[in-house]
Every structure is written in structure tokens, then in C-alpha cells.
Chains A and B, each alone.
Chain A
């Protein structure tokens, strides 16, 4: 109590000494954004942070500081109830106008609203960035942005006019509309970045931001800077991580709760009483001391379960001095993990023993405490103070070992001995057992090859797929896999992609650089000498001869599974049966991506063995891919990365009136590893059966749309695994409308149709008709007349055309598309709404 009183007295003393009335005569309107606890008040479930609450707290702190500086401050709200949530936002500006203030500032924090995590500072003002409604507001945005960046240590700061930031067609910030004084809006940091969200729950952290904004007001009006300074910091545990995404190495460490930080003058002769900060238990570890007279101070850090620590810091007027500290736990060190796990096996010389400790260790004490039985020579390499690699080259094959780490192993800072059994008490040993494996003397075995030997009618751009039963030293495969045209023995260039699968098997996928000739014989030659990881070479050459067929019809792409595709597909958990929810999901994969693509669709599956039937359905539910129609007499294809599980895969399409019917392809057994082009020739193969589905009659009625990928389980095969899919497409057939020369269906007039869908995100289809052959230009412009994209710029025959416009790289807004031919020109408008 006495300390708290003294702390208050100290603050009062500082305040009376340090505060002038430098903002006297200035009237400032503060608008803490939002209000109340409803859906538009930005709640973060994980941290229970309400933006409406944080905005108000910052606003009240700012009010108090500005008033101490002599300003007249008007608050748009001082409580956080639903009644405080003023809507429409034009009311806020109109209300501020009645007070005739000199400046308006709205306080917010930010969120991406997506799974992306960022944490920067954003300051907005009305107008465009280059032509603000109030030029001084842009100046102020710079001051506030810099100060908040400095206080919150966000990654960067950005300032922008709201018309530029949100696009000239809106949305735009309502609080600026009709405002008759300069105004800014701060999005100080991102409350959906969880480490920041926890910090925003700390009152001192919010007050620190208020100081930052107050300092900006002083600079903005050319007033003297504060004569006092601030010490702030975060206490973290360097040995514990966090479960959520962290953008910095610091944020990856777990903040310490219930901290106590004591501030004393460094000068022993200074009689100032200590000031104590007691932290919260809200996972932020933050502390702050404000209104400090410049000079040197000592800080003493304490927290339950941690060693006491201290530091000396220097405070400068109007500056933030940061005194972050890693507090070290009093919990003794233990072994977090050992690879191989107890009872597991390793291949000597190829796989090492990796030991991970909970704390930074005294290396010498650890090395002298480690041994194996039977005794064998060990060599040590530390990848960090917590991670030790023990080389196994000296261990014999086919031997059972016990690894022991003695209690003499100590952590680095305080010499705490190892807690081998992890019971919280130092001084016991750690042991585990492992076995060395049989020496591998076998050459890698070819498992599957596509195209297979003597295969006919192979597509002229085949995806050559060669899988082995183990991983390959890829450098030994170089020059040993060739594709030869048999007629002239020409060796053809290949593009290659190598992928290990499930840590054991591996696969090479090749594409010819140039399309192969039709109806021609080729040989795939796999020479001897391809080695596994243990230097065992293949001994014989294998030759696979195949013959190409005719060219495929032109295809229309349904989905290339590039950036943003997941929005159009729904989770496989939604319509599936006989699966386990924990192991079944879908995602974008950049690892298993098809050659020339940046991502593919990854489906992880996990079957519930006890179920009586199994169907995983991965449906396409919206977006431009859902609008693509194709003929029931064509071919539906997708590149599929198989896992060799021998489980089943099939396509499903929607047909009939309003596409309400569903038909499936026959099942295909996933008996390959790596990429393969899977085709459903609908006319030749017909449909499969979908037991119990009344929407399915076995007949492909009329035009089709894609419905879903489907997987099923065959008992005895692996219960879990994955497949990847890329470049889903269908034979063009009637999709693109009329081919040149089809007189009967030739359009009678030029026309440019309204794009569909509209508004759209990110792609839309533009359709037009040409009654005669003409040079055609189809371009997209923004409202300033700047060309955004050229979609067509060539001569085309009479017919109906559809062109997809993908706007994933341009901002939301209104765009114009113009069709220009020799005798016709028309422009239409479309709305991109992201």
C-alpha cells in the first residue's frame, strides 16, 4: 500500500513538474471506433478482445493526457454500450462538426478478416493519398503512424487516403464524410494477430499508444516535445513457444504472466522511492512506466516460477526506451524429444540421434554425461544450445542400444541439473533404447512406370511417371532417364520433378518439352546406375516402348487450382461418410504442385475402419469454375498425384434440368505414386453407379457442370493418405459455341454481353458474338481509362466467344471492358468486389 501510494505521488510529482499547457486553446475531438458488444464490434474469441473496448480505453487515456497538456477534448463516447455504437457513420462527423473542433481523430485497431497474419500500423485520412481532402491530415497521419510504430513496434507503418486505400468506388470511411476539420483514423495494429491481441488487452499497452498519439499532436502543432520519457517492455520465457502464429522471433516466445517490475533510480543517492508495476495474466508480459524524468534507472523483474533478473536503462525525454527481458524458468531442464524415439530404429551413418532439451544447456556437461550401451564412440554437434546431434557412423548395424544422459547434464544459466524423468525435480538420468537397422545392400526397385511397356494411344503430351520403392540419390538419375523417338533415335528434352512420398517411396514426373508426334513410337530408357541413398545402384537397363495416339480435343479449364481456389470448394467433411474428421481436410498445396503451376488441391483422407461404407465427397460449390459447362460426350480430365494406396477415386458431374442430377464416373484405383493424367471418356466409358443416390439415373443428360471429386476406401488398403489434384478440365466440344464456318449457328449481329457473374471475385466470363470474321480487341480498363488487361487481340471468325477474366491481381472497383472490331465497338461495366 505504501509503495502504491509512493508510486502515485511520484507520478503526480512528475506530472506537475513535466506538464506544461502547450495545447491550451486547442479543441480535439476523439472518436473511439465502434461501441458495444455486438457483431460489428470486432471480437477475437481466442483472447476475448473487443475492439470497441480497446478503442475506448485508448481514447480515455488519450483524453486524460491531452487534457493535462491543456487541450479541450471532446469524446464521442465514454462508455462501451450498444447505445454508443453510432450508426450511420455520417452522424459521427455531423456531431463532431457541432463542437467546432480543430482536429478529429478516430481510434481503431485492424484485422485482416482472413487467415493471413500481419501486424502493421495504418493511418487513413480522407481523399486520395496524393490529393487528400485536408493536406494537413496527411501530415498528421505521418506523425501518428511513426509514433505508434515506435510504441507498438509493429512491422511497418503505412499512411493512405481512404479513397486510394479502399478504391475510389468505396467502401470508404464514414467518419470522414462531411467532416469540417482535418481528421485521421488510426488502425494501430492487428487485433487478429494473436500476440498483439493479447497485448491490446493490457491497459498499460493501450496507454502507451495514447502517449504516442499525444506526442503526434504536439509535433503536428509545433509544440515542444514532452520533457518526460517512457520505459516499456515485454517479459518472455525463451524456452517456451506459443501455439499461435508469430511473425517475429520475439513473439514466438511465450510471454510471462503475473509479472512484477520494480523501477528505481540507478543513482544510489537518489532518494526516489521504488515504483512497482504489477502485470496481468493475459499472456502479454507487457509493462510500462510513463512520465519519467530523463536519467538512468534500474529495473528488477520478478514472476512466479522464474529467476529474478534486472537491467539498467536510460530514459530520454519524449522517447520510448524498451527493456524487454527473457526470464529464465526455475523448472529444471528435461529432454523434450529424442530421435529415434524409444524402440525405434536408425540407419548408422545415415540417420543421426537428435536430442532436444527444454533449456539452453551447458554443452560440456551434456557431452560428458551422454553414453550408449553397448559402448560405442559418439561425436557431438550442437545446432543450437538446446539441440544436440549425435553422429552414428561409428555404431554397428543390427544392434540394440541404450542411450543414457546422466544427471550431470546441466542447463547453462543457473546450473540446474537434468530432470530425466520430468517430474519437476533435478538430478535424475534420462534413458531410451533404439536399434540399428540391417545394412541396405539392395538396389532401388522400379515399381510403376507410365506409359507402360507396349502401351498404345498415349496422349502426345504424356506425363511420364516413374516410381521407386525407396528414395533416390537424384544426382545419379541425371542422364540415366531418356525419352527417345524410335524412328530417328532422337533424344527428347524432358522437364523433371522429383518427389519423395511418405518418407519412403519416391517418384519422378517428366513432361516432354515439346509435344510428341501423333501415332509415333517412343521408348523410355531407364539406364542402370541409379542409386538409392545408401549408394546401391540399379544394375540393369529398362526400356518401355509406347505409341502415341491422336491429339486430344481442345480443352476448357474448369479449375487450375491456383491462388484463392479454396473459396470455391467446400470442406470434404461436409458431405462425406465413413471418414474421421481429424484426418480429413483439403487445402492448397505448394509442395505437391503440378509442373508449371504454383499450387494444387491437396485432399488428406482418413477412413473410419469401423464404418460399413466409405465415401469422401469434395464438392465444387461456387465461383467461376461452377459456371463452366461441358458436353456429355467429351472427356473430363484432371492431373492427380496418387499415393499408391489402391483406394478408389472418381469424378462426379451435375446434369439434367438446372443441373440437379448427379452422375459419377467409374471408380479408378489409385495404384500409382506421383502425378498422372486421369481421363474419364464419358461416351466410351459411360457412368458408374452411386448406390442410394436418387439424383443419379446412370445417364448423362445434356450439358454438364462439375460437381465433385470422390474417394472411397477398400478395406485392407492404407486407412489414411492423400491425393493432389490439378488442372481440372473438360473437352471443349460445344462449350465455346460455334466454330468458324458453322453457318447455321452464326450470330446475326455483333454483341457484347454483360459479364457473368457480376459483381465477381476474382474471375468472370465475358461473352461476345461476331457475325463475320474480324480483327477483335477485347480490353479491360479502369475508370481512369488505364488499360488493365488485354484479353483478345487477334483476328477471329464468326461465332460466339467466351473469355475468362481473372482479376486476382487488381484491386476491387468498377472496371470497363471494351470490345472493338472492324465494324463494331461497345463498352460495358463490371464490378470487382473482393
Chain B
């Protein structure tokens, strides 16, 4: 097989004596969606925050395209073309969609002034692709609906040519139609060769959208399985009991 896009090798991180992530190893290939499953507090968000630069791991190694990567903060992660859609969306509510989309990466004129008009035009372009109904370009995002806010967060991740995309429960706050839209987007990004980590509670959705699923319990990795080889019940059993299904256990 080719080189994995991302290798998370033997990652550990603890907070005040609690081992939040305990020697976990997961990898991700280009054009692949890997689902991360587990109860609340299983450590999936914490694991992924080591990759997005929000947390720093205690031990372990991250490799991007086979090379060891140093990620100490979100700025480092962006340099490796890692984009994250956080569960909380991480939007500045007082700013408009354009300001949020370009936050930290504003387009500036030669005099160092931010080019709001250019950025708004770019925002209109990408939003017309992601969410054609989106019209509130100059309202603060606090005035937007949950789905509209979500599309701003997604647009921000997609616009800057992400190679590795992390989605933390991207459909948690969405209605059925918007959920379908996100699912279609994931399929499209996959075709473009992105690698996607998808953190989700919904076993059904993971089975539909993902190629493989990594299940975590109490900070440890229960196992990584191909979703075609397991049933939804198998996945549930892994989440609840913390054991791999018998027909796969070697």
C-alpha cells in the first residue's frame, strides 16, 4: 500500500493524572474517511486535537506523508494543510461570515490593509458552491442559523486547499437536509483525494460515510475495522463493551 497521509503513532496525553489518550495508533490514507467512534470522554476529540494543534501530546509521533511532523499550535497544523471543523464551530460571533472565513489568513493589500471587498467576493464564490441559499454576508454570524454557521465553518476548512480534514461531529446541530448536504460534501472531498477524520456518535452515519472506523474507550484504542466487514451492532458492541467482534479478532 502507498504511504499513509497521516500516521498517529502511539499517542498519549494526560490531564492531571487522567490518561485521556493512552498509546493510540491510527492512520489515514488519501481519499479515505476514517470514523472515530466512542462514548463521551473516550478520548477521540482529545486525540484529534493533538493533530490540529489545540493540544500537545505527552508522547508519541505524528507523521505526515511519511515524515515526522512537529505540531505545537494551530498555526503549525495549518502549515501542514490540516484543517479542522470544531464541534463548537470556533466562530467569532461578532464578525461576519467573510471575516470568519479568512480569520488568521486575511487577504491584504500591498499597504497591509485587509481587502474586505476581495475577501467578500471570494466568500460569495465558495458559499455559492457549498450553500447556494446563503445570503447574509455582512451580518455577524451570531445572527445566522445553526446550518448557516456550519456552512461558514466548513467553507473555512475547504477554501484553503486542505489535504487533511478533521470534522468533529459536523452534523450534530443540523437538520436532515443539511446533514445530507454535509454527507455529499464529504463524498466530493474524498474524490478530490483529501483524507478525512470524522468524529461522530452516530454509528449509522459512520457506516455510510466512512471507509474505516476506529473505536476508542477510556482513552484506549479498541480497534480499527473496515466498515464493510462489520455490522452496526458490531460497532456498537465495540463502543460499549470495548471488544473487537469475534469474527475479526485474530
Q: Do the two chains bind?
A: no
- Chain A residues packing against B (C-beta within 8 Å): none
- Chain B residues packing against A (C-beta within 8 Å): none
